[in-house]
Structure 1
Amino acid sequence: MDTATTRTLRTGATIPVIGLGTFGSDRYGPEEVAAAVRGGLEAGYRLVDCAAVYGNEAAVGRAIAASGVPRDDLFVMSKVWNDAHDPDAAVASVRRSLRDLGTDHLDAVFVHWPFPNHHAPHASVEDRDRTARPYDHAAYTALWRALEGLVDEGVVRHLGTSNTTVPKLRLLLRDARVLPSLNEMELHPTFQQPELFGFCVDNDIQPVGYSPLGSPSRPERDRTDDDPVDVEHPTVLRIAEAHGVHPAVVCLQWAVARGQVPIPFSVKPEQYRANLEGALADPLTPDELRAMAAVDRGARLIKGQVFLWPGATSWHDLWDEDGTIPGGLA
């Protein structure tokens, strides 16, 4: 891919400006997700965002192999889930992902969430995990050290954080030997996270945005006229009409123009093809980008289970200097 379709990481390596998400385990089986991955790669995607907890990496790995795209042309990412924060367990998790994805290296490995919280499959997001613990920087550093060893070994090219916050990133940048190259986080027009986004950019951490269309199919979305989902927002609809495109394309054009790497997910060929083509089409105008900035209303979607240990009531940044959280809050 040329520079118009890639971004450069702190190592000098490049990452495509848009990728394929594979989180579909709540609605789709592994083979359906894998079919979308194979079709997406054949359509031109070169970035695949995976995770151990999605339960489909073996199927996705077979799809990558069947696509015929050379491995060196791909950027494949995975994540260590919350039940594998112990250093040995984290290493074992990455090696399992390598085996399942059928690759000798991963271009990036993320710590999926900064808290060692684990919920049983299909548990309600409102359930509190009685074995869960709040963020502890010493424990997180031990986990990160184990992942640094995999970078030294050559089986992981870059490390990334996910679902984290500025205070935690400050501590990691202070203490890490292998600095984070990416931070994956919820990013869409109605939830732009300007402080965290700006911190990442200022510190050479590439923002990767999940739910870039605002996940309009999620049942917890508020679909009232006063609080519309992203693809139904009047500003998005107006820009889409002016460009003659679907509102989802506007969300992705905004994301790419802003500098993040969006990772939309769809199993429908017409949708994942349109996402790729739209994201790489003519950019929005400066006036349109300013209008999109005003769409932000702090509408977080992904919240609940990983923050909810006993006594937790808020996940905002209430840290002591050493990274511990007073009062058990996250």
Structure 2
Amino acid sequence: MSGFNVSADAVDPEAVPKKKLYTGAEIPGIGLGTFGSDRFTHNEVADSVRGALSVGYRHIDCASVYGNEDRIGQVFKDILAGGLIKRDELWINSKVWNDMHERVEESCRQSLKDLQLDYLDLYLVHWPFPNYHAPGCDITSRSPDAKPYRRENFMDTWRQMESLVDAGLVRHIGTSNMTIPKMQLLLRDCRIRPACNEMELHPHFQQPEFFAYCIDNEIQPIGFCPIGSPTRPDRDKAQSDTVDIQDPVIVRIAQRLNVHPAVVCIKWAVQRGQIPIPFSVYPNEYLSNLRSTVTEPLTDEEMREISKADKNCRLIKGDVFLWKDNQSWEDLWDVDGHITPA
């Protein structure tokens, strides 16, 4: 089967918790991220997808900007051709990048071609900013073509997203890196509501208000950086960043369970109600992350302790998407509850 065998250590995919979307569809309660940063090759990421599927993962989070969808697509082709996993057992996400907000269908069709799939389970607007950094280019500094969020432009992009559902290219559409004010406008004006919102979520950045807003509006939160993303690019690191897996509360719980602190972060995420999408190319890590969803849960008291460990420490600040000089990254995130004007 083209190098694919079910691992002897595999977790039964049916035992992994699932979340029900407002459409009635079920999405696996943990996924594998595929952003290899600048620390792993595209082939290493593709191999991690193959390995993750062999141990029981059924949810894979992709994006065109990661530059590896063609390698991952070969894995999907091999595995589906072998027949051990059927397409309807998989949940595959992808995202339209910032330079394709005016050509959403073209972007989606390219991802489908690269991933060698007929449809996507979920397609997201990666960022609400039409920043014109193209995939594969240097994104360590602000683009001279960067533009701010504007409701009219974003809704033009969203109408194209809705058309993908109408055409059967995607089953669900959603957002990523949003804020409450931006989401309020989208919910007011959309025809097809977002099924999911992908957002940074980990014990040191819990976004309680936005998380609750999504839950109240039947938008499933998907959490990236669920263990604090220790392998994130150097450009996304700051001296003020805190480290989730060194938090004394997390460490103490890990010692009780005799697991790595990262496992505690994953358990917390699943029990809280978000869908974590941890990334790793190491089999012991992605297997332990998956196994955490079917082993001893955290106690109610431990969940309360972690809720108090929030440090409001955003790791992926998005500085490169600022649209003019002398701005702070906070301008991207509507920190005062209002959209920052252009």
Distance 1:138 1:199, change over 3 A: same
Query: What's 1:209 paired with?
Result: 223
Query: What's 1:71 paired with?
Result: 87
Distance 1:100 1:124 in 2: 22
Of residues 254, 278, 282, the one that matches 1:240 is: 254
Distance 1:213 1:319, change over 3 A: closer
Does the 8 Å contact 1:78/1:97 carry over to 2?
yes
Deviation string for 1:118-175 (max 9, x for gaps)?
Answer: 33545353x2222111111111111111111110111100011000000010011011
Tell me whether 202-211 or 130-139 shows the greater mean CA deviation: 130-139
Of residues 49, 58, 63, the one that matches 2:61 is: 49
Does the 8 Å contact 1:118/1:306 carry over to 2?
no
SS of aligned partner of 1:10: coil
SS of aligned partner of 1:42: helix
Query: What's 2:3 paired with?
Result: none
- Tell me the CA shift for residue 108 of structure 1: 0.3
Give the letter for the 1:123 counterpart: D
Deviation string for 1:33-88 (max 9, x for gaps)?
Answer: 110000100100000000000000011111122234211100000000000011xx
Query: What's 1:40 paired with?
Result: 52
Of residues 278, 290, 294, the one that matches 1:264 is: 278
Deviation string for 1:13-50 (max 9, x for gaps)?
Answer: 00000001000042212111110000100100000000
Tell me whether 309-318 or 148-157 shows the greater mean CA deviation: 309-318
Does the 8 Å contact 2:15/2:294 carry over to 1?
no
Of residues 16, 21, 46, the one that matches 1:9 is: 21
SS of aligned partner of 1:173: helix
- Percent of residue pairs identical: 51
Does the 8 Å contact 1:129/1:310 carry over to 2?
no
Does the 8 Å contact 1:216/1:230 carry over to 2?
no
Of residues 207, 210, 216, the one that matches 1:193 is: 207
- Tell me the CA shift for residue 295 of structure 1: 1.0
Pairing of 1:113-152 with structure 2 (within 5 A): 113-119=127-133, 121=136, 123=138, 125=140, 127-152=141-166
- Tell me the CA shift for residue 222 of structure 1: 6.3
Distance 2:63 2:71 in 1: 12
Distance 1:274 1:320 in 2: 38
Give the letter for the 2:62 counterpart: C
SS of aligned partner of 1:114: coil
Does the 8 Å contact 1:115/1:306 carry over to 2?
no
Q: Which runs of 4+ in 1 moved over 6 A?
A: 318-321
SS of aligned partner of 2:292: helix
- Tell me the CA shift for residue 117 of structure 1: 0.6
Aligned length: 320
Distance 1:163 1:306, change over 3 A: farther
Give the letter for the 1:14 counterpart: E
Asked if 1:82 is matched to 2:94, the reply is: no
Distance 1:275 1:160, change over 3 A: same
Structure 2 unaligned spans of 5+: 1-12
Distance 1:139 1:45 in 2: 36
Distance 1:245 1:13 in 2: 32
- Tell me the CA shift for residue 4 of structure 1: 5.9
Does the 8 Å contact 1:113/1:306 carry over to 2?
no
Tell me whether 115-124 or 142-151 shows the greater mean CA deviation: 115-124
Distance 2:316 2:175 in 1: 16
Of residues 265, 274, 280, the one that matches 1:251 is: 265
Of residues 245, 258, 263, the one that matches 1:231 is: 245
Normalising by structure 1, we get a TM-score of 0.92
Give the letter for the 1:238 counterpart: R
Asked if 1:316 is matched to 2:333, the reply is: yes
Distance 1:283 1:318 in 2: 34
SS of aligned partner of 2:53: helix
Distance 1:301 1:169 in 2: 21
SS of aligned partner of 2:332: coil
Does the 8 Å contact 2:123/2:174 carry over to 1?
yes
- Tell me the CA shift for residue 194 of structure 1: 0.6
